[in-house]
A and B are shown apart, each in its own frame.
Chain A
């Protein structure tokens, strides 16, 4: 069953009616709105807007040998990663062909998503766990979590923005089918333990403090901590601790803070400390651990030096994005051409 804008809007409206000011303020898309980004669709065919990101796109991301901290991505890709890229990209075209009447491809954001995907794989390996259970706050285009879920990790996420939320729902539903549970349809949620892929609207996430799943190993929240309202940040950090309460890992990961529009870096760092975290990783990505969790020094040193590429096939050859990203076919949105024009 597809989550339509009408169903989402109706459920959100009902939820909002029961919220107080603190909750409404906490879960608003303030930064997007302040920057004039469209946050909503009225028809699912408009969803192509949320499959990729072009604004502030740096073309050097397509060249090999670069490192972009915010994603955080090393722009060399293994054959396994290229294969995974192609699977996801083809799926995105299938989805958009179905809902937009024309296939649109995922390129730049999908490439960037390998950054945190690699971190997840590396942490999983170093922690010697067969799979991780991940919670992501604000997945945006949703590719990092999708790839983790496709490769066997349990995954749950929430988002405050209607447009990106609907896209994430389409994406995960397409790839994960029965292994995906969309909670925006439900009046109540029930996730004592996260298994498979779960998608929570903000109004259910807001209630997680009452009944948080305790089996989350790793929380992702990339490029958005500086964009969320302070009340939301405080809530996220505390509920994340509850969710990781029974995990031996208990790590909160992000590459960058996003636009520091609603909170400065210093303020966010202080919020982590106040909520009972300590900084463990900072060179290649940021990783804050719950205070009482131990991280062996060699584990830390290893990931602080380099996050390995994903290469289960052990093929050492790598590619620059230009070698496998299709930049010629007519699967771009009009937005891409517009931005391309004004960015020369």
Chain B
């Protein structure tokens, strides 16, 4: 399946309002005990002074891209950044997809705040995990994988997976990111996307779950009772060490349930994120204690539950260089500077601020 054959993105469907999310979250919090409340709080973000919530629609622009900690080397070819994990050479297919996403983000932000803001960094990073998914898809000869993503952040990796036809579901605990993900997925996937916050319960019937699903944390928190989501791959990048240890324990156990019937079964991540709530060693220990086996470590981390069907041959492929997504075998690659347009008008004030204090040249 080629992304290029996809229909035009649909108009944004604004069904999950900030107020509706807030009301439902408050209702959920009222019913939680200490363990659940602590497990599903955005503590690391808050401890680092990040703003986790928006009060008005225009503020969601804040969650469309991330510049803090960004290195300009990401824009030039030939680099590899493990945390994402991305090699900074992009195929023509990837450039086409990134450009389409970029255009969509401008459309969304124009609706949000009357100004077209672009995405310059985070969608590039999303290509790293997307390539791994494509490599696994090819490896097990399954065109449409079942993917569950924990904490998608700006959401671009998951969007690319969904655009490629995979069945994709995700959850997030941060209101701002969650609402941004909703706008992004609604815009690009239209009726194929189901938002489960705002009064939409998914019930117990897996068939009722649409191809792309979005769950608020309070529904994710209850999945252990009866989980209708099946997954071949769990993606949880740059967040395992940032989540509360109880959340981590829950994620690794629930992920096992989701992957129980898979022909493959692997939790993948480039890095564990900021080692704020746990160290990398603690995260690995949690995975081992929960019955996972570390299988892949060179380009990204891959842990599979006991009884997995990942063969040594598959591991050998995944330990090697993950190929670009290049459906037509064009071979040629581009650096981000070749295709990104750094139009001042499309940069947020935050971008300009960070650029100033980082001594970035004019891009």
Give residues in A with beta carbon < 8 Å to B.
16-26, 28, 30, 206, 209, 229, 231, 234-235, 238, 274
Contacts and interface: CB of A to CB of B under 8 A. Distances in A.
Contacts of A274: 359
Q: Which 5 A-B pairs have the closest CB atoms?
A: A20-B350, A28-B49, A234-B357, A25-B49, A235-B357
Contacts of B61: 20
Given A22-B354, A23-B349, A234-B357, A17 B58 contact: yes
B51 A16 contact: yes
B353 A25 contact: no
13 contacts: A17-B54, A18-B59, A19-B350, A20-B62, A20-B349, A20-B351, A21-B50, A25-B49, A30-B49, A206-B353, A209-B356, A234-B357, A238-B357
B14 interface: no
Contacts of B54: 17
Given A19-B62, A21-B350, A22-B350, A231 B55 contact: no
B350 A23 contact: yes
A24 B55 CA distance: 15
Contact of B348 (A20, A206, A229, A235): A20
Interface string B54-73: 11101101100011100000
B269 to A, nearest CB: 22
B353 A20 contact: yes
A24 B49 contact: yes
The main secondary structure of chain B at its interface with chain A is loop
Given A25-B50, A209-B353, 16 more contacts: A17-B58, A17-B59, A18-B59, A19-B350, A20-B351, A20-B354, A21-B51, A21-B62, A21-B66, A21-B68, A22-B353, A25-B49, A231-B354, A235-B356, A238-B359, A274-B359
A19 B51 contact: yes
Contacts of B51: 16, 19, 21, 24
B17 interface: no
Interface of B: 48-51, 54-56, 58-59, 61-62, 66-68, 348-351, 353-354, 356-359
Central interface residue in B48, B56, B350, by most chain A CB within 10 Å: B350
Given A20-B62, A21-B51, A231-B68, A238 B349 contact: no
Contacts of B58: 17
B347 to A, nearest CB: 10
B50, B58, B62, B353, most chain A CB atoms within 10 A:
B353
A225 to B, nearest CB: 15
A22 B67 contact: yes
A134 B252 CA distance: 56
